[in-house]
Structure 1
Amino acid sequence: MVLLDRRAGFRADRVLAGRDERAVGRRVTAGRVVLLAVSVLLGAGVLALVAAGVWLIVTGRLLPPIAAGAALLGLAWVLRPRLGSRKDAVAGGWVLDAGSAPVLRGLVDRAAEKTGAPRPDLLVVDTEFNAWAAVVGFRRTKVLAIGLPMILALSEQQLVALIGHELGHLAYQDGFRRLLEQPARTVFGALSRIVAPPRGDGVDKDLSGLLLMAFTVWQVIAGMVSFVLFSAHLGMFLLAAGEDRRAEVRADSMAVRAGGSRATLEMLDALVLMPGLTDLLHPRVAEGEAAQRWRALLADTQGRRAEFLPVLRQLSMREDASLLARHPSSGRRRQWVSNRPYVDPAVVVTPVEAERLRAELAPLAEQLAQQMRRD
């Protein structure tokens, strides 16, 4: 099954890499229409659960209907859409503003201005080898988060391309799209877990007679229902993953506009090398030298492995391909960008800005090193 999925994912990513910007940027696709239609039906179902639960509680004069109403409300609560929260978005990271990080915040604002993307309300630097953008909470707060290890692994111009990519998700409202599609993405899976019977034999649970027969029948029926629900969940997940992969390539077009074609290609090559970089950050550095030593180590490792990049790109196209993946492989994304016309950067980082940015982030690297020593 894994091999079949990898082959199918490889073909799907190859088709995606062959599409032009207009096809990638299309807002309405068959997959999205299906996801939205299913989400509308499931959302209406959740609202119906709420209405039925309230009606049973209000009109019920006996315990059974009141208990049934409470159960329906509980089920609706479990199936409710999640908006995310500001607290979770900033957990484990540093929230930076123009006062604490003027250079980094300035790069983000310039990239947003040059590309026409909305400016994030919160800029977070965390400790992960990752970057993401999302819109969270009832106030729909726009959050841009970049991992400090990721920043140290990239040049300043490559960082602009990465920022442009994440701003692309905000510009194309990918967070809003996922919110609308959330019922289709999650409800079937949640119901499958709720309905799934416990594992194990009834005899092992010391059941006998009618209880054993009833337990076995329940396992069979509930297991079949859970399987059907999981199959529906898998189908929705496959559609959603395809839309997410297209959104990643679409956001890469914004990376090119912000940081330029060259920096975007270099940034994607860094992502190809990333599996070999994640374990290089260690706490055994002299005080005050964490950022400098880590940056040098990451750059040296990337330089020594650069000759293997053509092979690693091809390997990522095959090993990371999957219909269940929400991102195309880094090698495939690089292929898509390399097939586009060359674009000069809209935001250029000067040597002075680069030095100021490094000085600005050095205290965060020291805090990360101290945290790693404690852990």
Structure 2
Amino acid sequence: MALVFGGLWWLVRGWGGMSMVLGLLLLGVAWPFRPRAARLPKTDQVLHRGDAPELYALVDEEARVVGTRSVDEIRVDAQVNASVMTHGVRGRRPLTLGLPLWEILTPQQRIALLGHELAHYSNGDTRQGLVLSTAYRSLTTWHYYFIPIAKPSAVEMLVNLLYISPRLFLHGALTLLDHLTLRAAQRAEYLADREAARAASTEAAVGLMDRLLITDSAAVALRREAGQTALAGPRGARTVEAKPEEIWERLRAHMASIPEYEYERQRRVGVRRGHSVDATHPPTHLRRTCLLAGPPAPAAVATDDERQQRINAELAGARVAVARRIVRDGFDG
């Protein structure tokens, strides 16, 4: 705002003179630093309500259970992850489902995953709000523009010296904002886990935590799929084009082959690694322990084989698109 009003003041004050140049310069500098809403991430496919009525019905049901309104859009990508965000002035709610994560979960664990993500809208996650998220992005943009110039010339060395003060100020503001909201972000994860257990049952939420412990193994399996197809050349690409579903069958078989002691090993590794106080997400083993500490909750939302088959049919096109993208471009999730 200071840049905008300063630019307008110099523009009007110096109308017709050289002071207009300073005004235009300030307005030009203000433009890249303006607060902006987050951009939607790239995705492989967008499912609208007409495309996936059963999946939307499941999400709507879970939204009622966790006490929030449903999402406006479901997006599917190739990440071993899932996320929600608030987009635009009207506060549209896109839900992004990483198909590799979705494929390795049981039906009730999928319900727990949806419940966890939707709960971020209802549990007071301050970092998801329009004001704080916009402030964080704006400060990050400012900080980026004041990064010192690498291998500077004599003039650029002077510029780097001028950058020191604003860069330190911005770094301090970012650090302060981060620490003031850090505990809220960690608390939001625990509350979202609690809502996931209420929606899908404690057993399903704990099972989801266990799956999250070994998502690296799913990523390795998909990279291997992409690498083997690349080595096979055009023949391998044609095989995937003809039967893209086989990638997901092999991924599920790989995850099913992981023995129970590997889950226990990952939990022990998490305990030995300790807890980073500046992490936005609490360690998975602590989230799992927190779920098991309370009384077991029954499932408020359930699914049956017929419903699951209808949802699978709605995601068939996305399965094909994501499988082909992984083979064509490689896996980077």
Structure 1 residues 84 and 199, CA, compared in 2 at 3 Å: closer, same or farther?
Answer: closer
Percent identical pairs in the alignment equals 28
From 87, 103, 107, give the equivalent of 1:156.
107
- CA distance in 2: counterparts of 1:363 and 1:184, whole angstroms: 38
From 98, 102, 126, give the equivalent of 1:147.
98
Structure 1 residues 66 and 49, CA, compared in 2 at 3 Å: closer, same or farther?
Answer: same
Matches within 5 A, 1:244-263: 244-263=185-204
Matched, 1:239 2:180: yes
From 210, 219, 229, give the equivalent of 1:278.
219
Structure 1 alignment gaps of length 5 or more? 1-46
From 275, 281, 298, give the equivalent of 2:252.
298
What is residue 27 of structure 2 aligned with on the other side? 73
Q: Is the 8 A contact 1:197 1:222 kept in 2?
A: yes
What is residue 268 of structure 1 aligned with on the other side? 209
Matched, 1:52 2:6: yes
What secondary structure sits across from 2:51 in the alignment? coil
Structure 1 residues 236 and 67, CA, compared in 2 at 3 Å: closer, same or farther?
Answer: same
Q: Which amino acid aligns with 2:51?
A: S
From 78, 82, 106, give the equivalent of 2:36.
82
What secondary structure sits across from 2:74 in the alignment? strand
What secondary structure sits across from 2:94 in the alignment? strand
Matches within 5 A, 1:319-330: 319=273, 321-330=275-284
What is the CA distance between 1:245 and its match in structure 2? 2.0
Structure 1 residues 373 and 185, CA, compared in 2 at 3 Å: closer, same or farther?
Answer: closer
Matches within 5 A, 1:1-375: 47-85=1-39, 88-89=40-41, 91-172=42-123, 174=125, 177-182=128-133, 184-200=135-151, 205=153, 207=154, 219-281=160-222, 282=225, 289-291=243-245, 294-295=248-249, 297-319=251-273, 321-375=275-329
TM-score w.r.t. length of structure 1: 0.74
Q: Which amino acid aligns with 1:134?
A: M
- CA distance in 2: counterparts of 1:64 and 1:341, whole angstroms: 73
- CA distance in 1: counterparts of 2:311 and 2:242, whole angstroms: 16
- CA distance in 1: counterparts of 2:86 and 2:134, whole angstroms: 17
CA-to-partner distance for each residue in 1:159-200, whole Å, 9 max, x for gaps? 000000111112235377542224653444443433444233
What is the CA distance between 1:239 and its match in structure 2? 3.2
- CA distance in 2: counterparts of 1:191 and 1:366, whole angstroms: 41
CA-to-partner distance for each residue in 1:112-164, whole Å, 9 max, x for gaps? 12332211011112221111111101222111111111110111110000000
Range with bigger deviation, 244-253 or 302-311: 302-311
Structure 1 residues 138 and 280, CA, compared in 2 at 3 Å: closer, same or farther?
Answer: same
Q: Which amino acid aligns with 2:21?
A: A
Q: Which amino acid aligns with 2:97?
A: I
- CA distance in 1: counterparts of 2:199 and 2:17, whole angstroms: 62
CA-to-partner distance for each residue in 1:40-86, whole Å, 9 max, x for gaps? xxxxxxx233222222222322554322222332333333222134x
What is residue 12 of structure 1 aligned with on the other side? none
What secondary structure sits across from 1:356 in the alignment? helix
- CA distance in 2: counterparts of 1:359 and 1:186, whole angstroms: 38
Structure 1 residues 293 and 178, CA, compared in 2 at 3 Å: closer, same or farther?
Answer: same
What secondary structure sits across from 2:299 in the alignment? coil
Structure 2 alignment gaps of length 5 or more? 230-238
CA-to-partner distance for each residue in 1:205-252, whole Å, 9 max, x for gaps? 3x5xxx7xxx65554453354234324323332333333222222211
- CA RMSD of superposed structures (Å): 2.8
Q: Is the 8 A contact 2:126 2:184 kept in 1?
A: no
- CA distance in 2: counterparts of 1:134 and 1:230, whole angstroms: 25
Q: How many positions carry a matched residue from both structures?
A: 316
- CA distance in 1: counterparts of 2:259 and 2:85, whole angstroms: 33
Q: Which amino acid aligns with 2:19?
A: P
